[in-house]
Structure 1
Amino acid sequence: MSLAVLNPVFGLRSVSRLQRIRAHMMSSTVSSEVLLEKVGNAGVITLNRPKALNALTLSMIRMLHPQLKKWENDSETDLVIIKGAGGKAFCAGGDIRAIAEAGKAGGSLVHDLFREEYMLNYAIGTYRKPYVALIDGITMGGGVGLSVHGRFRVATEKTLFAMPETAIGLFPDVGGGYFLPRLQGKLGLFLALTGFRLKGRDVQRSGVATHFVQSEKLSALEKDLTGLKSPSTSDVAAVLDSYQEQSTLDAEKPFVLQQHTDAINRLFEGSSVEEILEKLQKEQSDFAKKQVETLSKMSPTSLKLTFRQLQTGGGLSLQEVLVMEYRLSQACMRGHDFYEGVRAVLIDKDQSPKWKPATLAEVSAQSVEESFASLGDKDLKL
């Protein structure tokens, strides 16, 4: 039954209004985890699991990827906007618990979710139309993958960015091996190894976000973006720039790591995690002691994999990085630390993981090498 039959008034409404209603009906019938709508010439995605901080599931990925492709090839869609529902998070990460359960049970989710998520990350990274991620609230792990590879990332004072994977026996995936080594100096490696959290304007100052706009201005910003007619990338940038200029909150505060930038660049320069740790231990400053304490809690295997991942990823394309990271993800799924990290942080919440191996010295070069080895016909294909 057509919508016009349901209510004759619809016949008088614009085509875009019909498209919005159809999109709403489609999203509510297929899955309410993701809302897809067409507003003017823009495709608007709302991640809609607010109680789960919009954590990314496989079913969400399977809705997002084909829709992005459809909009990319649609002559009446000029840009894509992605945001999170609920006001607390853009997307707090992937559904880590579900992956851990599947891994223990021998389920296919450990292959499917990583493979399809990375394919989605690559689609975002190579998107031919302006892609605007409104990263208002918590943005970690999988949420970073949905935003950082897009052309525009808009942080607010509520944004909390982190890649905390080394604390759960993983590594900063979703293309972390691509964007982190490309941040200024050794900042990316510091963020990757320690899981340090950046907040608000600092997310933009670090280079993770392209713009900073106050949260209260986002609805007006979205309205202006969806009102653009056949915008170019520079048209979208001009709107974002104008909103950033109006957002003066915390403008006078220095970058949170500004006083430590030289120390980070010096101390996190090294040919191994052990060398970095040795430098930090010799330093004796409060900042260095804090980093030693933080790193001592992380999975030694994860630290070594992450170090090599960023060292290698700095010279690779996004496509090559995601192929590498898929190999690493499967190595972690075969190992011990990921399941132990999820238990300690998310299930029992005792925050006392028992890593195996327990020290950096015990993580063999061979085990690291094997984690990066080709999976043959099971490799990720992009």
Structure 2
Amino acid sequence: MDFGGGDDIRFERKGKAGFVTLTRPKTLNAINHTMIRALAEALDAWRDDPDVDVVAIKAEGRAFSAGGDILDIYNAGLAGNPPVGFFADEYRLNATIARFPKPYVALIDGIVMGGGVGVSCHGSHRVMTENAQFAMPEVSIGFFPDVGGSYFLPRLGGYFGMYLGLTGNRIRCGDALWSGVATHTTRAEYLDGIVERLAETGDADLALREAFVPAQRETPEGVLEGIARHFSRPSLEEIMKSLETAASGDEFAARTLAILRSRSPTGLNVAFRQITAGRALDMDECMRMEFRILNRMLQGHDFYEGIRAAIIDKDGKPAWRPASFEEIEQSRIDAYFEPLQDGELPL
């Protein structure tokens, strides 16, 4: 089936299921605009197709998807053409997946980050194998956890989502299952069988129940208690003060504090407010909020500087503006959340 994705994404109808396969393994299945448009068109067709009972998305290679095509975004922004249209279509797709009326099964075997999270973790069934690694690492490049991060991160247990969003740290399948990122865990060797059962039965719950293999939580209880204690604070300033107080005698607190101090002060303040606000918003409202933030980020400095330091020059020494948390003006953070004069994200 051809929905316009070219060689980057494949669509197939098998039995009672529609299958999507990300086919850019050399780029770790980085999500580009072509893929976004094609997947949106496929979901539009399959939503009303009486012969499609379930949709499943999977990927070739060692990664499910390591995120968006950051280099293209960087080059377009520096050329004076920030890719607002790319993000608008991506965010609309994220919202479409979240409201898709049929079971949407993400089979995640390998890395899933950023844009890859957006096309998987809003689905009704999120399956991770022992090879899965999840992260929302946007804060490490001066950005914010978008693609619906403001919706699903605050809904994870034990303030785990605030911790993941502010640090960008990776977790494996056991933590993903415990926290609610994943709904099911299985073994990679069972994925082909799941695909066959989805095609045969069209019943996602049955296929995944048969292949379910429980995964043990990786993070120790004491660390989870520390995450809940520190990241439940009502402001970013109080989170950091809590970590500072504990750092002298607590390795986790010291390590986490060092991570936060290395991040863009602007990006971290925006991310904290975004995740906090998302607790009270529905998915569409979250996507409109993220689109507001996105437009301001694309006009700013830290996002491009973060990409330069991490991917272009690879010096690992971003020069954030402002450089310190003490220099942050709350009015400038507020501006990221203001309504857009040129119109909000249409959903």
For 2:294 and 2:267, locate their aligned partners in 1 and report how far apart those are by CA, in whole Å: 11
Alignment of 1:36-47 (within 5 A): 36-47=11-22
Task: Tell me how far 1:297 sits from its aligned partner.
Answer: 1.0
Would you say the 8 A contact 1:159–1:203 is kept in 2? no
The equivalent of 2:140 in structure 1 is 167
Do structure 1's residue 348 and structure 2's residue 316 form an aligned pair?
Answer: no
Alignment of 1:51-90 (within 5 A): 51-86=26-61, 88-90=62-64
For 2:35 and 2:270, locate their aligned partners in 1 and report how far apart those are by CA, in whole Å: 28
The equivalent of 2:290 in structure 1 is 325
Task: Tell me how far 1:30 sits from its aligned partner.
Answer: 5.4
Do structure 1's residue 100 and structure 2's residue 98 form an aligned pair?
Answer: no
Would you say the 8 A contact 1:141–1:174 is kept in 2? yes
The equivalent of 1:127 in structure 2 is 100
**Aligned residue-pair number:** 345
Unaligned ranges ≥5, structure 1: 1-22
Do structure 1's residue 255 and structure 2's residue 255 form an aligned pair?
Answer: no
The equivalent of 2:329 in structure 1 is 364
Would you say the 8 A contact 1:205–1:255 is kept in 2? no
For 1:130 and 1:354, locate their aligned partners in 2 and report how far apart those are by CA, in whole Å: 44
Would you say the 8 A contact 1:187–1:264 is kept in 2? yes
Task: Tell me how far 1:185 sits from its aligned partner.
Answer: 2.1
The equivalent of 1:288 in structure 2 is 253
Runs of 4+ aligned structure 1 residues displaced above 4 Å come to: none
Do structure 1's residue 156 and structure 2's residue 129 form an aligned pair?
Answer: yes
Of 115-124 and 268-277, deviating more is: 268-277
Would you say the 8 A contact 2:36–2:89 is kept in 1? yes
For 1:341 and 1:325, locate their aligned partners in 2 and report how far apart those are by CA, in whole Å: 19
For 2:179 and 2:71, locate their aligned partners in 1 and report how far apart those are by CA, in whole Å: 30
Task: Tell me how far 1:108 sits from its aligned partner.
Answer: 5.0
For 1:302 and 1:311, locate their aligned partners in 2 and report how far apart those are by CA, in whole Å: 14
Task: Tell me how far 1:241 sits from its aligned partner.
Answer: 1.6
- SS of aligned partner of 1:186: helix
Task: Tell me how far 1:132 sits from its aligned partner.
Answer: 0.3
Would you say the 8 A contact 2:178–2:217 is kept in 1? no
Task: Tell me how far 1:206 sits from its aligned partner.
Answer: 1.8
The equivalent of 2:193 in structure 1 is 220
For 1:259 and 1:161, locate their aligned partners in 2 and report how far apart those are by CA, in whole Å: 21
Task: Tell me how far 1:164 sits from its aligned partner.
Answer: 0.5
Task: Tell me how far 1:238 sits from its aligned partner.
Answer: 2.5
The equivalent of 1:243 in structure 2 is 211
Would you say the 8 A contact 1:156–1:201 is kept in 2? no
Q: Which amino acid aligns with 2:227?
A: I
**Alignment match of 2:227 (pick from 250, 264, 271):** 264
The equivalent of 2:110 in structure 1 is 137
Task: Tell me how far 1:257 sits from its aligned partner.
Answer: 4.4
Unaligned ranges ≥5, structure 2: none
Would you say the 8 A contact 1:145–1:175 is kept in 2? yes
Task: Tell me how far 1:100 sits from its aligned partner.
Answer: 1.3
- SS of aligned partner of 2:56: strand
CA RMSD of aligned residues (A): 1.3
Do structure 1's residue 279 and structure 2's residue 279 form an aligned pair?
Answer: no
Q: Which amino acid aligns with 1:214?
A: R
